[in-house]
Each structure stands twice: as structure tokens, then as C-alpha cells.
Structure 1
Amino acid sequence: MGENSVEARLLSRMRQRAEAARIVRGDREAGPLPLSFAQHRLWFLDRLTPDSPEYLVPTALRVRGALDVTALGTALSGLVARHEVLRTSFPADDSGTPRQVITAPWQVEVTVHDLRAEADAETRAGEVLRAEATRPFDLDAGRLLRADVVRLADDDHFLLLTVHHIVSDGWSSGIMARELRELYAAAVAGREASLPELPIQYADFAVWQREQLTGPETERHLAYWRERLARVTPLELPTDHQRPARPSGGGDVVTFSVPQEVAEALRSTASGQGASLFMALLSLFQVVLARYCRQDDIAVGTPIAGRNRAETEDLIGFFVNTLVLRTDLSGDPTFTELLARVKDTALGAYDHQDLPFERLVEELAPDRDLSRHPLFQTMFVLQAPGSAEGRAWELEGTRTEPVEIERGVAKFDLTLTAVESADGLRAVLEYRTDLFERATIERMAGHFATLAASVASAPRARLSELNMLTEGERREILVDWNGVTGPYPDAATIHRLIEDRVASDPDAVAVAYGDQEWTYADINARANRLAHHLRGSGITADTLVAVCLDRSPDLIATLLGILKAGAAFVPLDPDYPADRITYMVEDASAALVITSTDLAHRLPGTIDRLLVDTQWPTGPETDPEPLASADDLAYV
């Protein structure tokens, strides 16, 4: 998130308040050094899923020119000597509690992969970079920085620096780039590096953070977040695959863009509301999520630097905090009205950002579910030009350019990252491959870009009036799918059409559910047994039969059986409160409720019921004589 006029003023006030609580250098011999809250969570995740590449932070550069590998090793060793966190290990004591152990400075050995003699050096280089960017670290052993150089020619190299997130973050990458530039130049020239002394080290911040999270100020933050996130519900995105009990961590990315004129229109709209581009893009993302999920309560995570104290600004370390931005999209507001809601949410969150996300999770204690990230499942990030994350990496006497590495990992269900550029916005959607196919995310990227253009042209339109469909999708729905050239049998009923399909193709698959497949003959025979039973029980034309079932093949067979009997069905959502279900059954004067054993307790005890899992009829499987026509009642 780049600092703009709104956020900058707020963060400035926070820095002024922080002057009264400065962090000081502590005594390294005073006792075991604790981990910060953020570090402790990553340490726990590392124990939960050892060797996962999710929390590695690789930086790859193409370096053209005379790269001095010896000077590079000297410069990196200087970086390790300067920042204690880069020479820290994280073993657990006898009670299982992790601690920081700071070691003496160590010499960084740069691993050189010489590919000058290989014909397919570029391809092989990519393989080496991907392998090294995903090779795990041992947190107990420390040395959580490594360097690899892939040599393509005497004046052409790839440089890969990999650190573990437990000792670094996006802001730290900017510090590393700046200091490595000076340390490398000094090593090449044979002089001392000119870098200012650091007032504190990361361990001092961790100790200070633990001490600060007591008293009325912490309680003020907790009270805000308790109220703000009360009864927050998971985001139920429609996925291509069933959610696994434990994600593999596998991921992929889809890249797309938002044109400059659209980005500027969004910025102008935000500015007119006293908001920022970050808030406008977050609003857009939440609208897309709301439409996909059909939910009005949308919680999205966003990282924030967590460095609102001057003494932390030049430190390498894991300071970044995560804020949960929860927005109510109900009532079909205009986009500008939604933007006002998002602005209030964001500014409130910034004002209470000092509470670590890990401490918040501990306090709220949401239901533990290893398949989901706690409190939110999607992340939004805006990187502004000139931010610490975007500072250029430069090495004396060379030309460097960043290189993307496809690591194939994803931390969240979805992460939208937008980067400001002279051409507009470059956006990346990172997604879990456990959940989504690439085509689904490409479609979502198109929806976001289309919605952005729609908002840019009509920011005061209501959310329901904003277009999200791409031109191709609109043509498909409005033209292609409506190109009917033959007559439809208006007098036919759905169950008679099913019977016709059974006669022509009985073995075709009609219903697929999990690993089950029912043919048209299977489902028709099962429905026929139910229809004969209902007629024998006195069910006649236009009789109402209530249905309280979860989605399954039995639900399809039940609905067809009721229609074949000549009756009509009353659908009851099993998730409704029991009182609501009772009212609907009684108000409809239903003659019978068809349900299952696990749902029967939600029904009034006086109503007749048939349990599909234990009482399905065993009568005739022939098609009953039709009682209902196309003009008769089908459902209520």
C-alpha cells in the first residue's frame, strides 16, 4: 500500500504519538530473546508444514557487466554483520517455546552455477533459479540468507538472493538493495563502507513489542477489533475443486492490466471523496468478491509496513502487519457511497494497526480450520511507484534488471496485487491451484478490469447497475445463447422430458456428485418408486409435499418423484432456523415432508415424514400414468 495524502497524514500523526514510546537497545545477556508476534506465527507454520516454500522471499536479478563474486560475498557478509536478524536462529527451548539466538557474523558463500558451456543455458538457468528459490531453510540452524549466481557468460549473470520471511519483508528488500549497493561498491574499491550506525536491532523491537502489548492502549485496540470483526464469516468463493482439508500451498498467477485513463479516473473519483486509489481499488475488489460469493459482508486482508517508529525504518526484519478490512456492501449503494464505507474502515484500521494480527487471532479465537486462513481468505496489495518495495537494485559497474520467478506457491485463496506504472496499473492475481483452474482466474481478471472501466465512467451508479461482464460474455449471454431456431415443446413437463431421454439414451450420465454418477435410467427408476408410493399414500394432483434435503442425487430423484405423482413441492432450506421451517410447513399445509435422518430433528414433530436414506420405497420402477400437465402447480 503506497502512502497517499490520506494515509500519509494519519501515519504522520501516529509517528508523532510514537515518539513517547521509543525503542531502546536491550541487554543481550538479560535472558532469552522472544520472537515478535509475527515471527512466532511463521515459526509455528514452519513446524506445521516443514519445508514449505510459501514463506521464502527470493529476489532475482539479471546482471550484465563484470560481476565481482568475491566482492559480492564480502558485501553480503557485511550486511549479515550489520543486521543481527540475518544471523539469528530460532530453536525451541525444553518447554517448546521458540527463542531468538543471535550468532557471531558469518561469511556468506556465494554459490556459482557456471552454465557457460551449456547450449540451453537460459532454460537451465530458469530451472536453477526455481529450484534455489524454493529450497527450504532450517530455522533451528539459522543462516537464513543465501546467494546464488548463475553464470551465462563472463559479462552476463543471474543473481538470486533468498531469505526467509521470518527475518525480512518487502520494506527490508529496499534496505537490502540500498545497503548492498554501498557495501558492494566499497568492496570493489577496497575501502570501508559508509553506512550510519543502527540505533537498535530487530531483537530490541521484538522485546519492546511484547512489553508494549499490555495496558489501556492495547485494550483500546482490542476493543476496536472485537467490535469490527464480530461474527465475521468466511468468504465462500465458488471454487473449481473441493477445498482440501490442508492446502498444498501450490499456486499460480494471472497478470492483467488496467489502462492509464481508467486508473486516473478512479484516482480522481477517490480524491473527490477524500479517499485514495488504494481505497478505490479495494472497493472494486470487494464488489467482484461479493458478486462471486453472493455475500454482502466481505473481509479482505492487506499488509501494512508496521514501521511507524523512526528507529525501525532502516532495519531489516519482519515488521509487516496484516489488517483485516471488512466492508458491508448491503443496500445496493452507489460506488461513491461504498467508497465512503471503505474509507471509514481503512482509516479506522490504520489507527489501530499497532495490534499484531497474530495477537488479534489469539484474542478472537476463530474456529480453527487448517483449510482456511483465519479471519480472511483473500488479500489485496497496492504498490506505489517510489515505495520501499520498488527501489532499484544496483551493483557498481553493472546493469541490473529484476527477473520474475514462477515459484508455483500461494499463501491465500486469492491475492490481488496492483502496481502503479506510467501505463496505468499492472495487476497480478495469485491463486491456490488446489481450488481454482487458471481459466476461472483469467475470467475474474477480466471481470475486475471491466468493472473498473464501468466505475470510471459512472462512479455514482449503484452497484447493481455496474457492468462486470466482458464484451465476449455479454455477446454469449444476450446473442449466442438466445439463438433458438427450433420450437420448444411448451406442453411438455420436465418429468416427461426426462422419460423421453430415458427411452432414447438410458445409460447417459444424468447426475454427477462427488465420485457418484447416476444415469437417466437410474434416476428415473428411483423417482418412479417414490411416485408410486406417494400415490398409494393418498397424494394427488396439486398436493403439497415439503422437501428438506441437502443438495445430492436424492434431492433430484425426490423432486422428479413428486412431480411424477402429480403433486407439487415446497423447498425448505436446511440452513433455515427450525422455527422458520416449522412455520413454512404449517403455512403450506404440507401433507408430508421428505428429508434425511440427519435433518429430521429440524422438523416439527407432528408432520408425517419420509427419510430418503432409510425409507426410500421399493415399489414399481415403471413410469406412472401422468396426472399433472404443464398448466398444473409444480412448486410453491
Structure 2
Amino acid sequence: MLSELIEQLNEKNVALAVRGSELIVRGSERIVDEPALIDVLRRNKAALMALIQSGDYIGPDGIGEVPENRIPVGCSAITPDMLPLVEVTSDEIECMVNAVPGGAGNVQDIYPLAPLQEGMFFHYISGERRDPYLSHVLFSFESRPQMDAYFEAMQSVIRRHDILRTSILWEGLHEPVQIVWRHAPLRIEELVLRPEAGDIAKQLIDRFDPSHFRLDIRSAPLIKIVVARDSLSGRWVALALSHHLAIGGATLAVIQEETRAILEGETRNLPVPVPFRRFVAQARHGACIRRQDEFFKEMLGDVDEPTAPYSLLDMPVDGLPIREEGRLVEASLARRLRAAARTLHLSTATLFHLSWASVLARVSGRNDVVFGTVLFAGMRDGDGKMRLPGMFINTLPIRISIDGSPVRKCVEDVHGLLTRLMRHEFTSLARAQRCSGVIAPTPLFGALLNYRHNPDRNSSYAAHVAEPDIGTEREGEGIELLGGSAHRTNYPLTLEVDDFGESFHLSAIAQMPIDPERICTYMHTALEHLVQALEQAPTTPVRGIEVLPRNERRSLLVDWNATHADYPQDQCMHQLFEAQAAATPEAVALLREGQQLSYDGLNRRANRLARHLRTLGVVPDARVALCMERSIDMVVAILAVMKAGGAYVPLDPAYPADRLAFMLQDSSPVAVLTHERLPAPVLGTLRLGVTASNVPVIDLDA
């Protein structure tokens, strides 16, 4: 088949092109001169040329010729052949055109979602009332004309870039698509707010909080502007809402830079816009599905449980408070990290990935962890790719074992794994998860690592991100940037690492009750111990990398275990309990799943059961079997046996039937305390085991 031939050529790094009526073959001389290869190319020349000219050819660099946009200006009817990047029917096209104001004449292009957009779109449609990927930026303007001029300049930026004129449509279609509008006017809503109700900026943020507000992504641009006049200061406050489906942090920076350039009359210095369709084509078609599946099945095939930090996997529907804390990595540690990376001929990102895995192993209770790592899936030909607005990042899983492997070997293994992972940067997260044993919709992981290179940022910026509440920034004369929301994800824990070339900054974004400051401290500690092991003892098992800082480790191992206390040596435990019940009868003694029992209530219930046990013959040295699940009744039963003078024999309902039967026979209990709600096989084993000796089985539910 032709697809198999293309795959074989790509494996040999052989690229094809068409020049006039000739098929051009590029590759190493040794491979290209092979007679067998020349023969197969001659036999398939016509088919290969047709494939290249159609735009469906994918070369070894990840992409072939990207088909040009075939929708002409002024088009009154769009047909399927005009949309080479997506397969749709005429009925679906009609559905799309009807959803765009101005119809076909206002449709510039239609293509599918990129991989990261697919994941965000899933969370959007499943988010019900909330929108986890909605962010905002706050501005303050001296006057209304100044504000109008600013947003008119922003409208000019929107006209420049396809992704800023894009809407998302899915209703009535077999797959979601993004539609580029030719004309997408900014939506500006003016509100009248009362200063006596509080700060105007805070009122705007509260009203459009993503926990209860959703942006309509079916309408372009995916930006909404809300403005209100502050009658006390006379200034105008504007809230710019945007959706990460099209506009990430880097894109917001491009919008602000180009808006400022337009206001200052510097439009000649703006770069030539690059159609976002090129990236979509590369992301959708620039990959071999078979290779993707082979890689992720090899890495994730035997993973059948998710990695859940603090047992959290997903943000709840109504959302929980999100906190963000950050800290700079100590300068001396930053230098040691870079020196260790140079010595091992790998990137510092590798050291951060392994350290993050060590932290997650501790907070998730797993030695084998999976987390998401954010990759910048940039354009292959890319001069200035960082300045292109749009969603050029992807999140993919990486699996790291925190086991007995030597630290140095583990670092090298992680470096190799990251290198291989980057070759599959366009794989969708959904496809990667399908290669694991974790069945959707259960997430594969609950934590992310976003390692970002910011070499152009100076130390003053590093100090700024370390202190996010530094205040306002000037955007221009009379214009202030009041702040904005941090990038949010649908995962309960994210660690962002900013690499400034010399220094590093850690920022943890966490769902309550996770403490982001503590997470940063754990990460800093893990980095310290990792680099120390690489410097002094590279054969140290990676599971020995410590994440707890010295003070917290002392609290856990020493301070909180300082349980020594003086108590009367001539009294039994149940007598000490009775004294406590007499001193604090109304205090809560037991609390479980919404049920609670006071000291007096627990004492009374235990006394009643103890008197009953004595009537059954429970005396000192007599044994009472307890077969029940953990519950308030179990504590009552233990205390009652002590009060009756006997000893209790714990029988776990999860034990095999043979083990339960043996323990009953071996302990010869006077009575068995249990619950009728236990599984029938367990109850049957208990009754069978005591039938011969006529021992009563007491149901505490009764």
C-alpha cells in the first residue's frame, strides 16, 4: 500500500517533492541509490506525485505541503472540496455556515481542533456551569476615548490573526471544528456598577468568575470585554475575558505587544501573520498513528491505576478555591543544577521532571507515577514561532518509577524518555490515555508539570513573578494593567517552572485543600537532594531522594510522635476512659462519616453491651470474637469486651473463609460480635464455625 511505502521512506529519512513533471527524492546518497528503492519509486511515481500534489503527503520532518485555503473571498456557497483539512458533508457545512453571522461570505476557513484544543474542548462541554479554561486581564483607563482607542487597536490585532477570529462548533457535526471568521468584531458590554457595593474591579471579577460563568465559544472572537466606570476615580475599568481554546498566555502577550505597537504607530515592525491552519495541519497529519500507539502502549500499557496527588484527580463541578504560591530556586542550587546537567550532557528540564516525580510519589502514595508534561509543539519551519498567537502547546503523559534504580541511571532514563516523547508531541492526550489500562472518563493523572524556557527574561522579572502582588503596571500614558488570572487547568495540582537562563522560579497552582507553598518547598527539597546525590553518590537509589524539608521531617518523626505521658499505672484502659467520660461527658469521642458519639454516649453503649456479655459468660481470660468493618460499633464492642473483663479476637471480614474458620476454632470464643450487613459467605462461615460449640453470634445492628 502507498501509506506503507511512505512510512518506510520516512523511517529512512527520505523526503519527496514534485518539481514540474518530476518526482524529487531527497535523502542520504547511500539510501537513495539503492536499486530496490529506485525501482519501487518508479513503479509508484504517478501515485506518489498525486499524493504530494493533493497535500496529503507527510514527510519525515512531520509534514508535507500544507493545502492552501480554498475558500475564495466573496464565496456564496462552500463545498466539501474547499476544506482539505477536514472531512465534512454538505449538510454539515450548511450547519456550520448557518452558525456564522453573514453566512458563507463571512467564513474564511474551517479545520479540526489541534490535540490540546481537543482536551480543553472536552472539559468545556463537561464543565456544566463552570469554565476551567477562562482567564481574564484587568485594565484601567483615564478616559472613555482612550479606552475606545485601545480596544480599536486590539480589533486591528484580531483582524491580523486567524486564531483570534476563530469560533468552535460541534452541534450537528461528527467532530468539533474551528471556523475562522473574516469579520469578528469585539464584544464590548458596558455595565453600571455602584462604588458603594465595593471595588469596581472586584465586582467585575466576581460577576464573571469562571466557577459560574462560561464564554460562548461558538462565537468569534473568543474574547469578551466588559467595562464599567468608576465614579469615584473617574477612570474606566475593563475586564478582558479570553478562552484558552484559542488564547493562551503567550497569545495574550502577543495581543498586548501588537496593540501597543498599533497605538504607537509602529505597525511596520509587526511580523507577517502566519495562518494557524499550518499548525493544525502539522498537528493533525504530521504523525504516524502506529508509532504513537506503539510508544504509548510501551510506556503506559500496564498502568491500570491513576496517579492522584492527595487522592485528587479532577476538579469538582462546582469548583474549589484555587491557590497559587511561588518561590525562586536558591541561586547556589540553580548553579549546581546547571552544572550537573552539563556534566551529564542533558537538559535541566530532566532534573526537574525526576524531582517532580519524587514529590508526586510521596503525595500520591505510589512508587510508579504518571503526570502530564506540557510540550511546546512549535512550527517546524519556525522563525519567530514563539510570537505566533494560538495554542501551540500540548499536554502528554510521562511515566517515571521512583524505585531502587541508581539516581544517575534514572536521570539518564528520564532524559531518553523525554527525547522520545517529544517525537510524539502532536499526539492527543485522549489517544495516549487509550494506550493505558486506565479507562476513560477516569483521568490518567491529576498533576501537571509545565517547564518553560524564558531566557529573554531578566532577574527583575524573576523577582516580579516571585511577588505576584507587586501592584499595577503601566501599559501606556493613562493606561494601567491591574492584573490577571493565572493559567488554569482541569487538574488539581500544577507546578510551573520558569527557566530564566540563570535562575529558576517555581509556581504551584493547587486546588484546596492542597497547600501550594508546601508543594514548592517539597520540590525545592527534592532538587537539593537530587543534585547532592548526583554530585556525591550517583548510585543512591532514586527512592532515597528526600522531599520533606528538615523541619517538617522532624515534626512527623519526632515532635508529633512525642506521645509519652504520665498516667495512673494501677488502672486499666477502660477505667481511664470512664474517668474521661465523667470529666467531659458531652465532648465528641468518635466521629465517622457524619456520625458522632460523645464520651458519655460511648460509655453508656459500651456498658450495656458489657452487661450482656457477662450474662453470656464473659469473664477474665474469656475471648470474644469481633468480625465487623471499621465503624463506631467496632469501638463500642472493643470497649465493652474490656469492661466485661474479656479479651477480643479481631476477625477481618476480608479474610478468606478458611482463615476465619481456623481462627474461630483456635480461639474458642465465648461469643461472636458482628453485623448482619456483612456478605452472606462471611456470616455463613461464622455460624458454621460456632455451631458445634453453641456459641452465640450477636448482631450489633439489632
Give the shorter-chain TM-score range. Answer: 0.7 to 0.9
Partners of 1:22 and 1:309 within 8 A in 2: no
- Equivalent residue, structure 1, for 2:52: none
Give me the whole-angstrom Cα distance separating, in 2, the residues matched to 1:139 and 1:282. 34
- How far 1:356 sits from its partner (Å)? 0.9
**Deviation digits for residues 9-62 of structure 1, max 9, x if unmatched?**
xxx99x994255343324343434453144344334333334524212334578
Residue 414 of structure 1 corresponds to which residue in structure 2?
493
Summarize deviations over 1:444-489 as a string: whole Å, max 9, x none: 4433334443444444455665554445445655775577786344
How far apart are 1:442 and its partner, in Å?
A: 3.6
Shift of 1:138: 1.0
Structure 1 residues 105 and 274: CA distance shift in structure 2, 3 A = same
Alignment partner of 1:268 is 2:344? no
Matched, 1:162 2:234: no
Q: Please say if 1:105 is aligned against 2:183.
A: yes
Tell me, in whole angstroms, the C-alpha distance in 2 between the residues paired with 1:367 and 1:614. 42
Q: Shift of the alpha carbon at 1:511? A: 0.9
Amino acid in structure 1 at the alignment position of 2:602: I
Match of 2:380 in 1: 309
1:296 paired to 2:363: no
Aligned to 2:699: 615
* 1:285 matches 2:360: no
Q: Compare 145-154 and 84-93 and name the one that shifted more.
A: 145-154
Partner of 1:56: 134
- In structure 2, the residue matched to 1:23 is 66
Encode CA deviations 1:339-367: one digit per residue, 9 max, x unaligned.
34433443332233321113334565844
1:517 shift after superposition: 0.9
For residues 182 and 552 of structure 1, the distance between their equivalents in structure 2, rounded to whole angstroms, comes to 67
Q: Secondary structure at the match of 1:196?
A: coil
Alpha-carbon distance in 2 for matches of 1:365, 1:142: 38
Q: Counterparts of 2:283 and 2:561 in 1: how far apart (Å)?
A: 62
- Whose radius of gyration is greater, 1 or 2? 2
Q: Contact 1:51/1:137 (CA < 8 Å) preserved in 2?
A: no
In the TM superposition, what is the alpha-carbon distance from 1:416 to its structure 2 partner?
A: 1.5
2:162 aligned to 73, 84, 87, which one?
84
Q: Distance in 1 between matches of 2:234 and 2:330?
A: 37
Residue 586 of structure 1 deviates from its aligned partner by 4.0
Inter-partner Cα distance in structure 1 for 2:62 and 2:421: 21
1:352 matched to 2:428: no
For the 8 Å contact 1:62–1:401, the answer to whether it is kept is: yes
Q: Deviations over 1:421-450 (max 9, x none)?
A: 5884332221223xx16xx44444433334
Secondary structure at 2:366's aligned position in 1?
coil
Say whether the 8 Å CA contact 1:429–1:441 is kept in structure 2.
Answer: yes
In the TM superposition, 1:345-494 aligns within 5 A as 345-361=417-433, 366-368=438-440, 374-386=443-455, 404-405=483-484, 411-421=490-500, 424-433=503-512, 436=513, 440-459=515-534, 460=537, 461-462=540-541, 466-473=545-552, 476=555, 487-489=566-568, 493-494=572-573
Say if 2:401 is the partner of 1:328: yes
Q: Any gaps of 5 or more consecutive residues in structure 1?
A: 1-11, 619-636
- Give the aligned partner of residue 112 of structure 2: 35
Q: SS of 2:361's equivalent?
A: helix
Whole-angstrom CA distance in 2 between matches of 1:56 and 1:376: 22
* 1:563–1:320 distance in 2 versus 1, CA, 3 Å: farther
Deviation of 1:547 after TM superposition, in Å, equals 4.3
Counterpart contact for 2:142–2:236, Cα < 8 Å: yes
**Residues in 2 aligned to 1:250 and 1:555: alpha-carbon distance in whole angstroms:** 36
Which residue is 1:497 aligned to?
Answer: 576
* Aligned mates of 2:257, 2:486 — CA distance in 1: 25
For 1:384, the aligned partner's letter is H
SS of the aligned residue for 1:380 comes to strand
**Alignment root-mean-square deviation, CA:** 4.9
Q: Distance in 2 between matches of 1:296 and 1:223?
A: 24
Q: 1:137 deviation in Å?
A: 1.8
| Number of residue-to-residue matches in the alignment | 579
Retained in 1: the 8 A contact 2:624–2:647? yes
Residue 541 (structure 1) aligned with residue 621 (structure 2): yes
Aligned-pair distance for 1:207? 5.9
State whether residues 73 and 107 of structure 1, in contact with CA within 8 Å, keep that contact through their aligned partners in structure 2: no
**Alignment match, 1:552:** 631
- Contact 1:299–1:327 (Cα < 8 Å) also in 2: yes
Counterpart Cα distance in 1 of 2:431 and 2:490: 20
Change (3 A) 1:526 1:57: same
Structure 2 vs 1, CA of residues 335 and 160 (structure 1 numbering), >3 Å: closer, same or farther?
A: farther
Secondary structure of the 1:21 match is: coil
Counterpart-to-counterpart distance in 2, 1:383 and 1:20: 25
Deviates more, 1:27-36 or 1:463-472: 463-472
- Equivalence for 2:31: none
Q: In structure 2, do the counterparts of structure 1 residues 475 and 363 end up closer, same or farther at CA, with 3 Å as the change threshold?
A: closer
Greater RCO structure (CA 8 Å; 6+ sep): 1
Q: Kindly provide the amino acid, as one letter, of the partner of residue 322 in structure 1.
A: T
Give how far 1:322 is off.
0.9
Residue 646 (structure 2) aligned to one of 566, 570, 575:
566
Report the AA paired with residue 303 of structure 1: V
Give the CA deviation at 1:227. Answer: 3.5
- For residues 547 and 427 of structure 1, do their structure 2 counterparts lie closer, same or farther at Cα, with a shift above 3 Å needed? farther
> 1:163 aligns to what SS in structure 2?
strand
Q: Structure 1 residues 244, 382: CA separation in 2 closer, same or farther (over 3 Å shift)?
A: closer
Kept in 2, the 8 Å contact 1:250–1:408? The answer is no
Match in the other structure for 1:622: none
1:598-631 CA distance string (max 9 Å, x none): 6536749544489xx991177xxxxxxxxxxxxx
Classify 1:221/1:95 alpha carbon distance in 2 versus 1 (closer, same or farther; 3 Å).
closer
Q: Is the CA contact 1:419–1:426 (under 8 Å) kept in the aligned structure 2?
A: yes
Q: Is the 8 A contact 1:509 1:517 kept in 2?
A: yes
- Amino acid corresponding to residue 162 of structure 1 in structure 2: L
Q: TM-score normalized by structure 1?
A: 0.73
Q: 1:195 aligns with which of 237, 255, 271?
A: 271
For the structure 1 residues 61 and 537, does the alpha-carbon distance in structure 2 shift closer, same or farther, using more than 3 Å as the test?
A: farther
Q: Which residue of 2 aligns with 1:257?
A: 328
CA contact (8 A) 1:67 1:398 kept: no
Task: Work out the CA distance in 2 between the residues paired with 1:358 and 1:471.
Answer: 40
The AA in structure 2 aligned to 1:430 is I
